[in-house]
């Protein structure tokens, strides 16, 4: 769901101070606006991203999604962080563009040592674009939505994007000006240009 100047925020935001700031907004929303959004509504937790100045309301993930996210993050930490190759992050805001602002929170990401130290905005979001970004497809994710996110990540400077499909048990690999690649159940995931000797058999990730 997109929330912008044409959406009456009182239907979404219970906090009066936030409501008064955003209710009549006619301009593109910013990273600062995103940082001011609540994490909890009377109906439960909420999570937002920002796409070209518009809020995108994110749905909570399921158990399968969370398990795969943890497994991938653990593999990146074990083979990346622990060997001094960089830093793994999960669901951390990244500023992809300004004017209009776009801020995404990928499921998992890896910033290589060559991009250290990591730069952060005043709102606490990353300004350093991770070399590797991982998105796990949720049940409500359309192909068009994932394609737009992948293009935005690559346009912002990411070198490699992995899209994990839990149902098909595949991982699609996307790079700039390189044909896409599909890893299937018997394949071994790797990214030697970002994490030397990284290996993750998909049979281990998805289970036998």
> Is omega for the bond preceding 117 within 30 degrees of 0, making it cis?
yes
Q: Does domain 63-206 have CATH number 3.10.180.10?
A: no
Given a cut of 50, whether residue 207 has pLDDT beyond it is yes
pLDDT in tens, 60-84: 678 899 999 999 999 999 999 999 9
What's the CA gap between 45 and 197, in Å, rounded? Answer: 39
What is 83-108 written as a DSSP string? GTSEEEESS--EEEETTTTEEE--SE
pTM, whole model, 2 decimals?
Answer: 0.82
Given a cut of 50, whether residue 192 has pLDDT beyond it is yes
pLDDT of the residue at 82: 98
Strand partners, 167: none
Domain extent listing, the chain: 2-58, 63-206
Per-residue pLDDT, averaged over 105-129, amounts to 96
Q: Under DSSP, is residue 36 helix (H, G, I), strand (E, B) or coil?
A: helix
Per-residue pLDDT, averaged over 198-206, amounts to 97
pLDDT in tens, 32-59: 988 888 888 777 777 888 888 888 877 7
Helical spans, DSSP H, in the chain: 16-22, 31-36, 63-79, 143-156, 202-206
Under 8 Å between Cβ of 11 and 19: no
């Amino acid at each position: 769901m997109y929330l912008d100047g044409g959406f009456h925020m009182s239907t979404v935001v219970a906090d009066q101070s936030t409501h008064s700031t955003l209710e009549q907004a006619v301009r593109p929303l910013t990273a600062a606006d995103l940082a001011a959004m609540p994490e909890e509504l009377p109906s439960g937790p909420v999570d937002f991203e920002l796409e070209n100045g518009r809020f995108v309301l994110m749905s909570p993930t399921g158990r399968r999604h969370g398990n795969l996210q943890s497994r991938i993050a653990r593999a990146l930490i074990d083979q990346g962080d622990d060997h001094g190759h960089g830093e793994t992050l999960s669901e951390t805001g990244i500023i992809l563009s300004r004017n209009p602002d776009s801020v995404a929170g990928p499921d998992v990401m890896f910033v290589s040592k060559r991009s250290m130290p990591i730069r952060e905005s005043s709102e606490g979001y990353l300004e350093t674009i991770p070399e590797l970004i991982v998105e796990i497809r949720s049940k409500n994710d359309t192909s068009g939505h994932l394609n737009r996110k992948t293009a935005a990540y690559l346009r912002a400077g990411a070198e490699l994007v992995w899209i994990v499909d839990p149902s098909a048990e595949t991982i699609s690999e996307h790079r700039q000006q390189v044909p896409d690649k599909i890893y299937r159940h018997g394949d071994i995931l790797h990214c030697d240009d970002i994490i030397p000797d990284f290996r993750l058999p998909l049979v281990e990730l998805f289970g036998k």
